[in-house]
C-alpha cells in the first residue's frame, strides 16, 4: 500500500540538502516494526494528530513507494527473484524516495515515513544472513550508505512474533511456522539495531492504539521543541 498524504509536486527541487551542514530544515521520522505490529494504522493516526497539532506542513510517505520503482518491488513478490535482486529493488526504490524526502525536508516539511532502511536491514538482512552470515548487514549498509539519510527518530513498534502470528489469520500450519521463524529473525535484527542506534525509540505495540499514538506524539513534540 502506498500513500503520500499532503504530497505536492516537487519535481524540480534540489536534492543536496544534507551536503551543506545546517540546511536540514525539515524533520524525518521513520516507523518500523514486523508485519502485524499495527505500524500502518498508527502511522495514519499520527499523521492526523501531528497535522492538527503542528503549524508546520506534515507529510506521510510509505515504502515501497507509489512510483514505478515501488511497482517493481511489488511485482517481485510474485516472481522468483534472488535475495540480492530483492534487496537491490528495495534499495533502488529507496534511492529515489530519499531524493524526494530530501526535497521535502529542504522545504521545512515534517516527513513521516512508514518503513525505511531499517526494514531492508531487518527483512532482507534476515534472508541474506542465511547465506552470507554477518557480512549480510555489512553489505546492506555499504550499498545503502549513499542512498539513505539519517532519520531524526526511528520508532520501532515492538511486539513479539508469536503475538502477531495470533493476529494473522493463516490456516496453513507450514506457512505459519515458516512465517513465524522468519519474523523471529527479522525481529532479532530490529532489536539489535535498536540497541546499537541511539536514534531508535522502542514503543510497546501491545498497548491500545491510542496509547501508542500518544506516546509517539509526545516524543515528536519533545523533538520539535
Distance, in Å, from the CA atom of 152 to the CA atom of 155, rounded to the nearest integer, reads 10
Closer residue to ligand TYD in complex, CB, 31/104:
31
Closer residue to ligand TYD in complex, CB, 13/147:
147
Interface residue list for ligand TYD (CB under 6 A) = 1, 35, 39-40, 63-64, 90, 114-115, 119-120, 123-124
Closer residue to ligand TYD in complex, CB, 40/103:
40
At its nearest, how many Å lie between ligand TYD and the CB of residue 65? 9
At its nearest, how many Å lie between ligand TYD and the CB of residue 13? 23
At its nearest, how many Å lie between ligand TYD and the CB of residue 150? 17
Closer residue to ligand TYD in complex, CB, 16/150:
150
C-alpha cell at 45: 493516526
CA atoms within 13 A on the CB side of 118: 31
At its nearest, how many Å lie between ligand TYD and the CB of residue 32? 9
Identify the CA nearest to 189 among candidates 101, 124, 102: 124
At its nearest, how many Å lie between ligand TYD and the CB of residue 57? 23
Q: In what order do the strands lie in the sheet with 200-204?
A: 58-62, 110-114, 27-32, 153-158, 200-204
3-class secondary structure for 144-186? Answer: HHHHCCCCCEEEEEECCHHHHHHHCCCCCHHHHHHHHHHHHHH
Distance, in Å, from the CA atom of 180 to the CA atom of 79, rounded to the nearest integer, reads 22
At its nearest, how many Å lie between ligand TYD and the CB of residue 66? 12
* CB neighbours of residue 220 within 10 Å: 24
Closer residue to ligand TYD in complex, CB, 33/106:
33
Closer residue to ligand TYD in complex, CB, 182/201:
182
Nearest residue relative to ligand TYD (C-beta)? 123
**Beta-strand relationship, 58-62 and 200-204:** unpaired
Amino acid at each position: 500500500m502506498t500513500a503520500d498524504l499532503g504530497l505536492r509536486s516537487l519535481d524540480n527541487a534540489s536534492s543536496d540538502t544534507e551536503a551543506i551542514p545546517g540546511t536540514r530544515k525539515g524533520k524525518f521520522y521513520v516507523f518500523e516494526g514486523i508485519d502485524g505490529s499495527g505500524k500502518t494504522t498508527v502511522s495514519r493516526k499520527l499523521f492526523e494528530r501531528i497535522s492538527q497539532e503542528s503549524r508546520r506542513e506534515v507529510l506521510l510517505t510509505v515504502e515501497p513507494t507509489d512510483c514505478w520503482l515501488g511497482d517493481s518491488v511489488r511485482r517481485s513478490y510474485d516472481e522468483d527473484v534472488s535475495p540480492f535482486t530483492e534487496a537491490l529493488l528495495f534499495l533502488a526504490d529507496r534511492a529515489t524516495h530519499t531524493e524526494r524526502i530530501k526535497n521535502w525536508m529542504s522545504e521545512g516539511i515534517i516527513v513521516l515515513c512508514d518503513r525505511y532502511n531499517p526494514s531492508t536491514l531487518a527483512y532482507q538482512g534476515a534472508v541474506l544472513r542465511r547465506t552470507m552470515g554477518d557480512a549480510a548487514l555489512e553489505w546492506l549498509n555499504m550499498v545503502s550508505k549513499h542512498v539513505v539519510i539519517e532519520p531524526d527518530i526511528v520508532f520501532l513498534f515492538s511486539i513479539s512474533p508469536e503475538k502477531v502470528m495470533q493476529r494473522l489469520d493463516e490456516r496453513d500450519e507450514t506457512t505459519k511456522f515458516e512465517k513465524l521463524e522468519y519474523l523471529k529473525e527479522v525481529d532479532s535484527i530490529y532489536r539489535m539495531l535498536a540497541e546499537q542506534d541511539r536514534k531508535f525509540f522502542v514503543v510497546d505495540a501491545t498497548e491500545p492504539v491510542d496509547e501508542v499514538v500518544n506516546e509517539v506524539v509526545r516524543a515528536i513534540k519533545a523533538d520539535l521543541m
